[in-house]
Structure 1
């Protein structure tokens, strides 16, 4: 999906260039929904070693709020978003961890504690397909690009003995770019208010963990995040 970024940028530019020069109708929107992070694998950022740490996640919550302009068949908006998921499982793999008569390698898997959250600021473009009959249901497609503030909050093995959890817990924050793609339907319930339901795919560029991170044994690791969301919300047209 990361290879779609040039296409995404082109889509947003086309949408922006197609917007009429006159002012549009302002609106505000808010959405809430469920988010599912895909399983992610962190790889070493330095050296030739190929040790990895893999993360599996529980489902989580996502929230968005946006302000924008509706130009008829196209819309432009600025969106603030938040998504958070608990880490359910961690897996370490390091083929150079030990060597014996049977060769070298280690793989270890454990339950996990902590969560990973993303706070995002996105610039979104929309293409709306207006109703052709009396149903008043609109279909829309959206693409966005922006920044993601990624926060690891006490992510570590899920052992119950506090010292082990504390010694191997990771807490840090990094900022990176991100993009999203989505589609949905909107139903007007009054002249000013619309209810919409949507699917969203979200993807970030790599972030790099600290070089003193206990979870990765002081090795900086690269990791990115992509997620799938199902959201419902309201749009208020001023």
Structure 2
């Protein structure tokens, strides 16, 4: 009986160890979730305004290489949110037919904190790249491309040798305002994403 218990314990320990160990190699991943765009300051020759947003939608696709415990990847992202309210001077009111869309092309680096005996792996990361932002104000569009950055914090759960699920918070910001034809607008967003990586 004691031998059986010992064998079961050893098998469970071996499974936990193999589940939490991510072998170095390439991977593909994707994530989707909620994008919370921070208030946007609009600067225009005719005056200034502030836009507030409803929670929006975000998704990313990425390909990278796991060096264990570090990862490097290239990522494409999409974020969209509707404007809910506009403030101009002392006047404020609800808005319809107005939204912001941001496409991101980023290079990211991650560090995974390996925890022995568990399939859960916390991680932190940062990225640099290019953001293309478009503000559509009731059919009148303005767009620009600027440098961007992001910071990531989350945890992965290794289902098996190939599949890792993760939940993360991501702050993304533009290094400078988007600007076109004398009108500029700022951009920052907080994003909560659920993702999956396939490790080859």
The alignment's TM-score, normalised by the length of structure 2, stands at 0.83
Cα distance per residue 1:173-206 (max 9 Å; x no partner): 2111110001110011111000000000010121
Unpaired runs of 5+ residues, structure 1, are 1-23, 94-106, 157-168, 211-219
Cα distance per residue 1:115-139 (max 9 Å; x no partner): 101011000000111122x222101
- Counterpart Cα distance in 2 of 1:55 and 1:172: 15
- Counterpart Cα distance in 1 of 2:127 and 2:88: 34
Moved over 3 A (4+): none
Residue 65 of structure 1: how far off its partner (Å): 0.3
1:104-119 paired onto structure 2 within 5 Å? 107-113=90-96, 114-119=98-103
- Counterpart Cα distance in 2 of 1:197 and 1:111: 33
The alignment's TM-score, normalised by the length of structure 1, stands at 0.70
Deviates more, 1:172-181 or 1:73-82: 172-181
Aligned to 2:78: 82
1:118-137 paired onto structure 2 within 5 Å? 118-132=102-116, 134-137=117-120
Match status 1:180 vs 2:150: yes
Residue 151 of structure 1: how far off its partner (Å): 1.2
SS in 2 for 1:191: coil
- Counterpart Cα distance in 1 of 2:59 and 2:31: 6
RMSD value over aligned CA atoms?
1.5
Aligned to 1:165: none
Residue 90 of structure 1: how far off its partner (Å): 1.2
Match status 1:206 vs 2:168: no
Aligned to 2:64: 68
- Counterpart Cα distance in 2 of 1:195 and 1:173: 34
Aligned to 1:30: 30
Match status 1:142 vs 2:147: no
Match status 1:222 vs 2:184: yes
Residue 91 of structure 1: how far off its partner (Å): 1.6
Aligned to 1:189: 159
Unpaired runs of 5+ residues, structure 2, are 1-23
- Counterpart Cα distance in 2 of 1:131 and 1:65: 26
Cα distance per residue 1:146-186 (max 9 Å; x no partner): 00111122x24xxxxxxxxxxxx531221111100011100
